[in-house]
Each structure stands twice: as structure tokens, then as C-alpha cells.
Structure 1
């Protein structure tokens, strides 16, 4: 079968692999679409320390069930549209014992710590197969990244009388904006791209700020009537946006960190104490977050087509990645159609 492989830094090619064979308790899926995510970009650029090259990327998946192994419970059918839960959990670490399997100490995500599924077929345990109803495989590939944003909103315990600032309007930020708006909060979206900010308003943001062109602090004071944000969700992963999150959260507010900053971040730590701010991380997503995204997409309100920047065949994956490297702020998702 055909697969895309990141061979070494800045080198990607199409390779041939054996088609996997379904086993007991497993499901064989025909992969239709796989999205490139930020971790794949970092792998390609040599900035992902968790990856050992060569590796098959891909964990944002739209697929169709092709074969079902023995001892798979009812509820799975050949031809069913599905997405995949791409994380593993050991069941023994502190996170797993506490029921937060998304943050397993020994997690191996598809395309990161182990080979992903940017290939024509994949076999997974039935527990990692998520039925997606009438959602097309094309749009199923958007479920996982949006679920990460949904999970961050749950971590933040967002309520309907709160101001929620979302820094970064990429795919994960989009998920956070949607989920916070669905919970009835007043969402303030921040980005440097006006096109992304315009979309943010259409999916639920009440206010937007272009941080390159506007004074973020002044705008935040105006929008929140001087109180600052009750919740700030950092979905970029840069020192500047981490500092912004702490600066703009209000007293006794909550900051949720999704993005990985590649460099050290310097804070005025007195703000942690003075504001008595709660700061927490948010990693991956839980099955409930996947279901919540599916429920949202089934309403028909999701502008899914606008979240797809480009669709390419495997042979054009390298060209698409190079374009993303050149213009990182202009991409929501690049899908590879297999």
C-alpha cells in the first residue's frame, strides 16, 4: 500500500508498505483523508524531539471501516465513516489512574512516538475507532484537532457568564472558540491574520483583536469592561503569547496552555500571586471531546470547507508542506487524500 514518510529533516517521499492484516479485537480501516498538523510540521523541520525518523506522519483521520476482526462488539459496520483516537494509554500511570487517559505519561501518538496513518490502510483496536455518523471522511479529518480545543475549554471550566480570550485562531483555537461560544461565554479571539479573525467571528467570537495591528491590552480592557478575561486559552505556543495570557487574564482567572513554546518564557511571576491565577496545561482530548465535536458538526453549523486550506495527493505532500513552511499563518489544514 502507498504511504507518505518523513525520511529525514526536510525530506518526504511516498513509499510502499505491506497492507496490514486485521486481528482479534481489531478493525481494518481504509484511510480516505489525513490532515497535516503542527506536530508533523515540527517533525519535518527537525523541531520535534519526541520523533525518531523516518516516520509515517498523520493522526487527523477520516476513514471507512473495511473489515472487522473477531471479538469486536456490536456497533461497528463495514462501510461506516469513522475517525480515530490516535493516542495510547498505559492504564498504570498517575494520569490513567485518575481517569485522564489523554495525558498518559507513556502516551504514544500516531505519527509522533509511533508511525502514523498517512497510508491507504490501517489496523487499530476497536477501542480507538470512533463512529462519525453521516459526517463525510473529508470532514472527519477535522475532528481530532478541534477536539483538542474542545478539551481545553473543559479544562478551563468555562461558564456562560465569562469572558474567554482565545489566543490563536488555527484549527485548535477554532475548536476552543466554538466550544466556549456553545457554553454561552463571551469569546474574544486574537490572531495576526484578519481572514482567520473574520472566521472566528462567524463561529462564535463576539470580539476579535489583530495583535499585530492593535493594542491588545487596551482592547481587552474595553471588551471586558476593565476586568480582564476570566479565562485565557493559549493556542499558539510562543513566548509572546504565553506572556500575553498571564498579562490579560483577570484577577482570580484561569489560563489554559495548549501550545508548546519552543524557547524559554520569562514571566513577571508576581502576577501569578497578585491575581491568584490558576494555570493549567491541556493535552490531547478525551473520547467525550471527540463526541462533542461530532455533535457540533452534525448540526451543520461548522464551516468545515473553510477549514480545509488545500487537498493534495500523496505525491504532492512535500510541495504542500513546503508551502506551509513558507506561509505558516495562512494555513488551517492541509489534507492528503489517499
Structure 2
């Protein structure tokens, strides 16, 4: 029997979101019905609302979520009713060329639920990142559910579903940060702070946080930054070099997604160092670098999709570290809100007033 639930819907570009009744089908083969307990308000959801992803309105927003599996369809073996899960937007297929080469975090054929959730009038919804979790219940592919320790708070666990995993993974998985490394992180929002936390967890000796907002820089220290640079007041490239013996950082993580900050990241790294782009650019952005500098400086220029994570490997590990007190995920939660407060949360996020607002369902 279909389920009628409340959810946050974006009907048109740049218009305020609305809370409406939607219809969620029972799970079919390979699918899972999840009762959402908490869902973070991520900047990607705002990108959807503003038309920065595509124009497939109406969107069912929300994707950074944790909840409990209520039912599964035929053939599902990954999870069962009652499991506490974090939702992910890269359910690996196991059969594409990346998976068959033992690199499932690069899976080229990730999948979502086949059935569509709809508005009450039958209009099909496009779920954000194939999830759509600003809803009391959502339908996903079973592979999008990662079982973790139920002792974890849903408001904290759900953050691993996107931003926090993207940042930690950008440092550890993509950037390969290890003991004694120097790291610079450009942009200290949720993803940037997660990259700082990941670098600290990996044993980096110098972690330089760069932002234009002193409030964010102070928060970055709480995640493990050893130095901060306000790039309104100082040249970030020169500042990073000065803090690394004149050399530049071993790993520079760009968590903004803009040409000017990427250029700063490129020149703030040491020779043979690594630049990781985890900030999400918009389609019209371009970068212009002297090809001789790309050649002469060596090293690696990498992009990080979802922190190059494998949810089945990384989510349980990070939840265990959180429960052991070694990774303070709760620091990312600025406030908990109700479903009706998502539009206000977008405004707070846009103005840099919060690190993460998290919708918590009763």
C-alpha cells in the first residue's frame, strides 16, 4: 500500500520550497523503504532549488540522512527491516569496469530506486541525488542503505551521507593525507571542516585553514586546524608557503569550487604536491593555468567525488570512531530543526550563519 507522507518539494527555479504531501510506493525488487529520522540541510539541496544541477522539477529535496528500514523488496540481501542505516547516493553496481578492477568507489553505474515517488496528483518527483530525504519516508535502492551501529545519533550519523564524508574522504581517500603531512584547506564550511577533521585524524602535522570569515576560521580550529589565514587580509598562497617553510603544503584541498580559489590551491602546494578539488563548481566556470606550470610543478591534480568513499567500508568505520570519541561528528551540527524550517535553514546557510542545520523527525 502506498504511503502518504509530508516532504519538502522544490517546484520551480529560485522559488521558496514548500512542505507538501507526497506518495511513496512500497518497495519493489531491489528497493528499500526507509523511515527517515534525520536529514542534514546540504548546499547541494540549495543548488537543486536554484536550478544549478538540472531543470527536472519538481524536486524532492534532502539526501544527507539516516533512518530505519521499514520494508524491503524482493531480492534484497544488504539490509532488512529494523536496520539503522545511513543513506548514500552512490550505490555501487559491482559489475562495471571500475568495480571489476577493484575500485568500486569509482563505480560508473551507480543506481537508485526504479519506482518514482510522486505528488498527490501523480506528478513524478526527482529525488535529490536519488534519495529525497526531506520526507518522513523515502524509497531508495537497497544498495543506498548502509547499516551502522544504532547507538549513533541519527542527527549525527546522517551527516556522513554527504558533506562530512566528502570532506573526510577528500583528505584521506583522495588526497592520501598521512602522518607528518602539511595540509591547507581552502573554504571552511561543512566540507572544508570535515577535510580538516580528516587530516587531523590521519596525523597531519600542519593543517592550515583558509577562509574569508573569522567565525569560520575559529570553528576550523575546533576540528584540528593548527593555523588559520583570513584571505581577505593576506595572500593565501604566500601565507601557506610561509607556514610550510617556504615550500607550500603537501596536500591542498579546495572546498569552495571557484576558479580563483582553485588557482590559489594550485600555487599553494609544494612541488610534487597534490591538489584536491572537492568544492562543486557551476557549469559556466573555467580555469586558465600556464601549461608549463602544470608540467613543471609535477604532483597530482585530483577531483574528489563523494570523498572517493565506499559507503560499506567507510560509514561503519567513521561511526565507530565517533562512538569511540575519536571523531567528534556532533560539532558539525549547529541546530536541529523541523521539516517546515528548511527554507529558513537555506537562508542561514547562504549567509554563513550555520555549519549544518539538521531536520529531525519526531
| TM-score normalised per structure 2 | 0.83
Q: Which residue of 2 aligns with 1:6?
A: 10
Q: Are residue 331 (structure 1) and residue 354 (structure 2) matched?
A: yes
Distance in structure 2 (CA, Å) of the matches to 1:126 and 1:113? 15
CA offsets 1:15-68 (integer angstroms, 9 cap, x no match): 21224313455443210111221221111122223x511110111002123345
Distance in structure 2 (CA, Å) of the matches to 1:118 and 1:235? 25
Q: Which of the residues 144, 159, 162 maps onto 2:181?
A: 162
Q: Which of the residues 320, 329, 334 maps onto 1:295?
A: 320
Q: Which residue of 1 aligns with 2:119?
A: none
Contact 2:147 2:316 in 1 (8 A): no
Change (3 A) 1:193 1:296: farther
SS in 2 for 1:10: coil
CA offsets 1:217-276 (integer angstroms, 9 cap, x no match): 332122111111111111110111100111101101111111222321222332211211
Q: Which residue of 2 aligns with 1:48?
A: 53
Q: Are residue 242 (structure 1) and residue 262 (structure 2) matched?
A: yes
Aligned pair count reads 334
Q: Pairwise mapping of residues 187-206 of structure 1 onto structure 2 (< 5 A)? A: 187-206=207-226
The farther-off stretch of 307-316 and 169-178 is 307-316
Distance in structure 2 (CA, Å) of the matches to 1:291 and 1:208? 31
5+ residue gaps, structure 2, are: 113-125
Distance in structure 1 (CA, Å) of the matches to 2:146 and 2:92? 16
CA offsets 1:52-109 (integer angstroms, 9 cap, x no match): 111101110021233455655487562x432112224455544344344444445467
Q: Which of the residues 183, 186, 199 maps onto 1:180?
A: 199
Q: Which residue of 2 aligns with 1:286?
A: 310
SS in 1 for 2:334: strand
CA RMSD after TM alignment? 2.5
Contact 1:52 1:113 in 2 (8 A): no
Q: Which residue of 2 aligns with 1:121?
A: 137
Q: Pairwise mapping of residues 98-177 of structure 1 onto structure 2 (< 5 A)? A: 98-107=101-110, 111-112=127-128, 114=130, 116-133=132-149, 134-144=151-161, 145-153=163-171, 154-177=173-196
CA offsets 1:110-160 (integer angstroms, 9 cap, x no match): 844545222111233443222231111111121122111222121122221
Change (3 A) 1:269 1:260: farther
Distance in structure 2 (CA, Å) of the matches to 1:34 and 1:113? 13
How far did 1:292 drift? 3.4
Q: Which of the residues 312, 332, 336 maps onto 1:311?
A: 336
| TM-score normalised per structure 1 | 0.88
